[in-house]
């Protein structure tokens, strides 16, 4: 068992608390989870263990950076026209 990988698995509340600058409220992370649930599961960033949701912090961070980059590029393209 790889403890380093498992140490990256956090409850949603633990993850949000460590990234309050991105998700300032419980509602903000819940909204993000609703909007991106399928892609987060596909990326291995959102897990269901024992009937509870957990976040793989490293994979979730990678997903956020990628999705944020795509959103910024789309917004730049829209404002360039």
Closest by Cα among 34, 56, 53 to 44 = 56
Tens of pLDDT, residues 33-75: 999 999 999 999 999 999 999 999 999 999 999 999 999 999 9
pTM score, whole prediction: 0.86
User: 46: which strand partners?
Assistant: 55
Closest by Cα among 67, 52, 69, 61 to 19 = 61
The answer, yes or no, to whether residue 81 has pLDDT greater than 60, is: no
Q: What is the pLDDT, as a whole number, of residue 78? A: 74
């Amino acid at each position: 068992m790889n403890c380093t990988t498992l140490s990256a698995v956090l409850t949603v509340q633990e993850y949000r608390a460590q990234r309050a600058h991105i998700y300032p409220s419980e509602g903000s992370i819940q909204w993000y989870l609703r909007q991106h649930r399928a892609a987060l599961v596909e990326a291995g960033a959102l897990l269901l263990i024992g009937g509870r949701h957990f976040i793989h912090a490293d994979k979730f961070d990678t997903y956020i950076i990628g999705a944020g980059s795509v959103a910024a590029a789309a917004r730049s393209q829209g404002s360039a026209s």
